[in-house]
Amino acid sequence: MKLAFSTLGVPGLPLSDVVRLATAHGYHGVELRAHAEEPVHPGLGAAGRAEAAAEFRAAGVQVLGIAGYARVAAPGPDAPVLAEMRDLCALARDLGAPFVRVFPGGTGEQGADEADATAARRLGLAAEHAADVGVRILLETHDSHRTGAAAARVLGAVGHRHAGALWDVMHTWLGGEEPSMSYAALAPYLGYVQVKDIASAADTTPLALGAGVLPLTECVELLSREGWDGWLCWEYEARWHPEAPPLPEQLAAGREHLGRLLNESA
């Protein structure tokens, strides 16, 4: 498995520093948060995109995914959500990223069937465009569809190889799924896996990997046993928890912890 970290853990950091951190600490790639407050976002022009892609390429660091905020199950018209996904796919193509992350984003105004149908319809349409530009759109296990079973309901209805799943191990755990259950549901669709750690269900402030309650060892052992050879991406949610210790000073220990889990599960 290859290792990456998300720039959500270092909000607003210049790309040159992101590249430096990745190479200094042995990460193979990065997930780029696509937001206007970040260096990379859908409004970035062609020259900026080319410069960013060249910087990562020269350093041998893979841009793993573009972490967007489109909400595919949200109430309202389809057109704005589809346009947002098209823009994210174009950004991923230009930066050489194979994946785009989207959220479910369903609300209490909808029943589960309606939310599933809305998400499946939009993902099906967006997947056609994603295929044209050579990327996959990944539905993250999050908010209204935080379990593997919930995400799989949607993706099974889509039935398109360019619509897949991003397994956030915190959300499936919070949703009450054992890792084996999550993997069984998501395996046919799995793009990559987000790892993290927290103190408890009541306190999701990010912790160093291995310092909390999430079943990271079990997840890595399961993925290894199943022969899955994709990406593990550390999503340290410092953007939402400014009181958390800075990510850069933890990257070396996080890399060592993940490497140890991989060695032990080999």
Tell me the percentage of the chain whose pLDDT exceeds 70.
Answer: 100
Residues 23-65 have pLDDT tens digits of: 999 999 999 999 999 999 999 999 999 999 999 999 999 999 9
* Phi, psi for 60 (deg, rounded to 5): 70, 25
CA distance 211 to 194: 16
Q: What is the pLDDT of residues 203-217, one digit of tens each?
A: 999 999 999 999 999
Q: What is the pLDDT of residues 115-146, one digit of tens each?
A: 999 999 999 999 999 999 999 999 999 999 99
Q: What is the pLDDT of residue 80?
A: 98
What is the average pLDDT value for the chain, to the nearest integer? 97
The C-alpha atoms of residue 87 and residue 18 are separated, in whole angstroms, by 23
Instruction: Give the count of beta carbons closer than 10 Å to the beta carbon of residue 78.
Output: 13
**In the chain, what are the domains?**
2-265 (3.20.20.150)
pLDDT at residue number 140: 98
Q: Flag whether pLDDT at 227 surpasses 90.
A: yes
What is the arithmetic mean of pLDDT over 176-193? 98
The answer, yes or no, to whether residue 198 has pLDDT greater than 90, is yes
Whether the predicted pLDDT of 110 surpasses 90: no
Give me the pLDDT at residue 180, please. Answer: 98
Q: Determine what percent of the chain is predicted with pLDDT higher than 90.
A: 97
- 145 in helix, strand or coil? strand
